[in-house]
Amino acid sequence: MSSLAFVLRMAWREGRAAVRRLFLLTVAVAAGVGALVSINSFTDNLRDSVTRQAQSLLGADLAFQSRRTLSPRTEALIDSLDGDVARVTNFGAMTFVPRTSGARLAQVSAVTGAYPFYGEIVTAPAPAWRELQHGQNTVIDPSLLAALSARVGDSLSIGDLRFHIIGTVTSVPGDVGIRSAFGPRVFIPGRYLQATGLLGFGARVEYEAFVRLPDPSEAQGIAAEYRPILRSDRVRVRTVSDDRARLDDALGRLGNFLGLVALVALLLGGLGVASAVHVFIRQKLETVAVLRCIGATSRQVFAIYLVQAAAMGLLGSVTGAAIGIGVQQALPLILADLLPVDVASTPSWTSVALGVGTGLWVALVFALLPLLAVRRVPPLAALRREYEPVSARRDPARWVALAGLAASVLTLAAMQAGNLRYGLAFSGSIAAAIGLLWAAAALLVLLARRRLPATVPYVWRQGIANLHRPANQTTMIVLAIGFGAFLLSTLFLVQHNLLRELSLSGDGRVRPNFVFFDVQSDQREPVEAAIRSAGVTPVPAVPIVPMRLHSMKGRTVAGIAADTLDDDTTHMPANWALRREYRSTYRDTLVGSERLLAGAWRPRRFGPADSGTAVPISIEQELAGDLGVGLGDELVWDVQGALVTSRIASIREVDWARFEPNFFVVFASGALERAPQTFVTMARIDDPALRGGLQRRIAERFPNVTSLDLTMLQAAIEQLVGRVTLAVRFMALFTLATGALVLIGAVATSRFQRVREGALLKTLGATRGQVLRIILAEYLALGVLAAAAAVALSAASGWALARFLFEVPFGFPPGGALAVTAITAGLTVAVGIWGSLEVVRRTPLDVLRAEA
């Protein structure tokens, strides 16, 4: 008992000096905990908001959804539920304002009934939503209003009808803000739907029915009971809790991902802790020895410093939690456009408590390794100043501490990632990155050991030589800078590759940037003529033949689907592949986004002589896998009621990320020419004014043809990617900050030694310039190597992420990599010089007085 009191009292007295010495530890922990608390508290808020707003997200208790008009069975079910029913029919259509001649593709929703039953669609002016049904009215997305240069009160043409714009939509439950960039909303009364004339052949329409039940608690039971039957009618049923689970899942993953980025910051902070404690202990060796001389046990001495490290870690954690709560206020601003719910920023005390606990734990676990050295200081060290702790390799406690460290990192990663596998992958990657950076540092030391030729100026030789001298800081600095740069460079590479993939002209080919959909057979000629009259040559139109799978290898889809209800479903074809509507095409050649994997491409036309035999088709590889079919298998298609037999002649890989019409199934030409079909016509038009004019003319003459300006879509996607990367970068900023702290710490570690050395060199005749150049050489070498190693590592991780997670081809931009290297090296040199300014300022007389 008295021993504990002694430890605590000593820790307190001794700690007055420790506060200053361990300041870096505190700040490093604070930065990491701040990142962690902000993101976890935010995720908690998000989950709360989803739970609270789930009902209004769906707007009803039950929703039925189909790509075709709801089946009679579904209608009968809806009738039998005895609830309130509202219907919404969604389709894409060109909107056109005659007054301004503005034309733009929009997402039209035709509404019947009191939709939504829960939550509300907010409009400006407020009564507009109620008045929508009282005439040929429409309320539209404000961004669409702006794009059409229209104002409330204007007429809006949709198909064959003109609607009166009576207001704008401020918010729709469940809509994410960025949605308006992809398909701005237009609401019209449901009773005018047919009269628009836009539900013709080939139109992509989604029919929804929303039901408010007399007893909402029955929703889940009803959905579960009827889902299998409705599925065979290609109707999807959704309930409030379905939606909530899906959202929780998606948002949870976003939270987990950002949380992992925050965890990196905390682990880097741990590195800072280890380095701060290491230095602290070195300065304390004499005190430790004296304490041992006057009778303290090694266990007591160890406890004194452990208590100090814990106290500083706790201080850092609490500070960090406070920072985290502050930062949390900023997160909704950054992520607002991506979230389907409004998020209130209230501190989540669970996250705060967890964050403080985690911070304290990380501080302790990382402090333990360097602290163990205290136990090995013999009393004799009080007499011999140069004494260094004996080698630690044999100390079993060291291995225990190392194992505890590894287990802690793994546990934290698994907790933050949400499952053990990701936790393992994360810890593994961190360990690999640290290991490789360590190796890079070792390599640098090895290179520095080789003498530079005497022709290199002395200051450079001295600076480089400092890298391998006793008590050098090479490893610590390479790890600190390298890790931060590695993370940022990986983010940069991922973003670069995602955006490059979406670019319309990235690979040197000029790709079309303007697309007309739903061009009917008889409109193909006049549409192409209209494009030509604008002075542009259209790309040959691509035919689209809608069809469904009828049978496969001799068994009907209905029969296969019935079997999936049996117990063994593992080898069954995936449901989506069996039931979806295929929009296939026919042609003779492969296109740029395709690559043949197996079989042979048949350039030969399928002529009249071949009638009665199966049509050769090429099928996309993942679809082939999901259907469980291979080369030579026979598939029968239902093409608007006519059965067409086909045989798989080849399997293709398709790069779906390209803005090009891509297809699961491509038929040999000659077989489908007379089937009902629509066309996609594309062109490259670089002049925005020309694009706008053409869009207007086509919208006026062919209201059913929708046109899409890919340049705008691309801008919208860039905005989306930009939003996501902004959020990730924001969290990565913490990592950078912690990395900078560790860097500053490492520089500060050797500052004392450097100040003395600098003053001594000046006494021996070195000018300030020479002293500065020595420091410059050292940090330049450190920075360049750490950055280069980090960029090389990030190339590997960026490649892995692009290949396996985002599934886009990987490209390495040398310019960007060079910039990252230069910035990192510059930063290192700046911090190094800044930390050594005292060296330059001090007069050489200090050396004479060093002993005083």
Told to check if 446 binds another protein by CB under 8 A, we report: no
Taking the complex as a whole, how short is the minimal distance between the CB of residue 293 and another protein, in angstroms?
23
Taking the complex as a whole, how short is the minimal distance between the CB of residue 763 and another protein, in angstroms?
6
Residue with tokens 């209608």: 75
Sole binder of another protein in the list 31, 362, 491, 766 (CB under 8 A): 766
Question: Which of 620/778 has CB closer to another protein?
Answer: 778
Question: Which of 4/456 has CB closer to another protein?
Answer: 456
CA–CA distance, 102 with 96 (Å, rounded to integer) = 6
Question: Which of 628/844 has CB closer to another protein?
Answer: 844
Find the part of the chain contacting another protein (CB under 8 A) among 217-225, 321-329, 458-466, 829-837: 458-466
Contact 746, 208 (CB under 8 A): no
Contact 209, 78 (CB under 8 A): yes
Of 486, 493, 436, the residue nearest 791 (C-alpha):
486
Phi, psi of 547 (to 5 degrees): -160, 165
CA dihedral in degrees (32, 36, 42, 45; nearest 10)?
A: -140
Taking the complex as a whole, how short is the minimal distance between the CB of residue 392 and another protein, in angstroms?
19
Question: Which of 211/759 has CB closer to another protein?
Answer: 759
Taking the complex as a whole, how short is the minimal distance between the CB of residue 465 and another protein, in angstroms?
8
Sole binder of another protein in the list 5, 565, 689, 850 (CB under 8 A): 850
Taking the complex as a whole, how short is the minimal distance between the CB of residue 754 and another protein, in angstroms?
10
Taking the complex as a whole, how short is the minimal distance between the CB of residue 466 and another protein, in angstroms?
6
Beta-carbon contacts of residue 470 (< 8 Å; ≥ 6 apart): none
Site string for another protein, 722-761 (x = CB under 8 A): -------------------------------x---x--xx
Site string for another protein, 381-410 (x = CB under 8 A): -----x------------------------
Taking the complex as a whole, how short is the minimal distance between the CB of residue 851 and another protein, in angstroms?
5
Torsional sign, CA 267, 272, 275, 276: negative
3-state SS record for 549-576: EEEECCEEHHHHHHHCCCCCCCCCCCHH
Question: Which of 1/764 has CB closer to another protein?
Answer: 764
Of 537, 519, 521, 520, the residue nearest 529 (C-alpha):
537
Question: Which of 461/496 has CB closer to another protein?
Answer: 461
Find the part of the chain contacting another protein (CB under 8 A) among 185-193, 452-460, 538-546, 555-563: 452-460
Sole binder of another protein in the list 770, 795, 809, 819 (CB under 8 A): 770
Find the part of the chain contacting another protein (CB under 8 A) among 329-337, 438-446, 467-475, 673-681: 467-475
In the window 622-651, what residues touch another protein (CB under 8 A)?
none
3-state secondary structure of 764: coil
Taking the complex as a whole, how short is the minimal distance between the CB of residue 370 and another protein, in angstroms?
21
Sole binder of another protein in the list 333, 471, 510, 609 (CB under 8 A): 471
Phi, psi of 91 (to 5 degrees): -160, 155
3-state secondary structure of 219: helix
Question: Which of 214/769 has CB closer to another protein?
Answer: 769
Find the part of the chain contacting another protein (CB under 8 A) among 117-125, 243-251, 459-467, 616-624: 459-467
Told to check if 765 binds another protein by CB under 8 A, we report: yes
Taking the complex as a whole, how short is the minimal distance between the CB of residue 447 and another protein, in angstroms?
17
Contact 822, 815 (CB under 8 A): no
Question: DSSP labels for 28-59?
Answer: HHHHHHHHHHHHHHHHHHHHHHHHHHHHHHHS
Cα separations in angstroms, 210 against 80, 119, 182: 14, 13, 24
Which stretch of DSSP H or E encloses residue 248? helix 240-293
Sole binder of another protein in the list 458, 656, 752, 834 (CB under 8 A): 458
Find the part of the chain contacting another protein (CB under 8 A) among 97-105, 543-551, 768-776, 820-828: 768-776
CA–CA distance, 112 with 209 (Å, rounded to integer) = 9
User: Could you tell me which residues are beta bridge partners of residue 545?
Assistant: 584
Contact 348, 41 (CB under 8 A): yes
CA–CA distance, 434 with 440 (Å, rounded to integer) = 10
Torsional sign, CA 486, 489, 493, 494: positive
Sole binder of another protein in the list 67, 469, 548, 580 (CB under 8 A): 469
Q: What is the DSSP letter of 376?
A: G
Which stretch of DSSP H or E encloses residue 123? strand 122-124
Taking the complex as a whole, how short is the minimal distance between the CB of residue 764 and another protein, in angstroms?
5
Question: Which of 592/769 has CB closer to another protein?
Answer: 769
CA–CA distance, 680 with 672 (Å, rounded to integer) = 16
Taking the complex as a whole, how short is the minimal distance between the CB of residue 773 and another protein, in angstroms?
11
Sole binder of another protein in the list 99, 449, 532, 768 (CB under 8 A): 768
Taking the complex as a whole, how short is the minimal distance between the CB of residue 360 and another protein, in angstroms?
37
- Give alpha helix (H) positions in 418-515: 420-449, 458-465, 474-502
Question: Which of 91/779 has CB closer to another protein?
Answer: 779
CA–CA distance, 28 with 364 (Å, rounded to integer) = 13
Beta-carbon contacts of residue 460 (< 8 Å; ≥ 6 apart): 452, 773, 777
Question: Which of 208/757 has CB closer to another protein?
Answer: 757
Taking the complex as a whole, how short is the minimal distance between the CB of residue 440 and another protein, in angstroms?
21
Told to check if 763 binds another protein by CB under 8 A, we report: yes
Site string for another protein, 792-831 (x = CB under 8 A): ----------------------------------------
Taking the complex as a whole, how short is the minimal distance between the CB of residue 364 and another protein, in angstroms?
32
Beta-carbon contacts of residue 13 (< 8 Å; ≥ 6 apart): none
Told to check if 445 binds another protein by CB under 8 A, we report: no
Find the part of the chain contacting another protein (CB under 8 A) among 119-127, 555-563, 648-656, 841-849: 841-849
Of 477, 487, 481, the residue nearest 733 (C-alpha):
487
CA–CA distance, 360 with 734 (Å, rounded to integer) = 18
Sole binder of another protein in the list 503, 640, 769, 818 (CB under 8 A): 769
Sole binder of another protein in the list 319, 462, 677, 824 (CB under 8 A): 462
Told to check if 845 binds another protein by CB under 8 A, we report: yes
Find the part of the chain contacting another protein (CB under 8 A) among 284-292, 413-421, 450-458, 731-739: 450-458
Taking the complex as a whole, how short is the minimal distance between the CB of residue 848 and another protein, in angstroms?
5
Question: Which of 511/754 has CB closer to another protein?
Answer: 754
Count the residues of the shown chain that bind another protein, applying the rule CB under 8 A: 34
Joined tokens for residue 256: 């987990």
3-state SS record for 476-487: HHHHHHHHHHHH
Taking the complex as a whole, how short is the minimal distance between the CB of residue 736 and another protein, in angstroms?
30
Residues in the chain: 852
Told to check if 283 binds another protein by CB under 8 A, we report: no
Residue with tokens 């001649």: 101
CA–CA distance, 301 with 281 (Å, rounded to integer) = 11
Q: What angle do helix axes 298-328 and 2-21 make, rounded to 10 degrees?
A: 50
Told to check if 764 binds another protein by CB under 8 A, we report: yes
Phi, psi of 120 (to 5 degrees): -150, 155
Question: Which residues of this chain interact with another protein, rule CB under 8 A?
Answer: 386, 454, 457-458, 461-462, 465-466, 469-472, 753, 757, 760-770, 843-845, 847-852
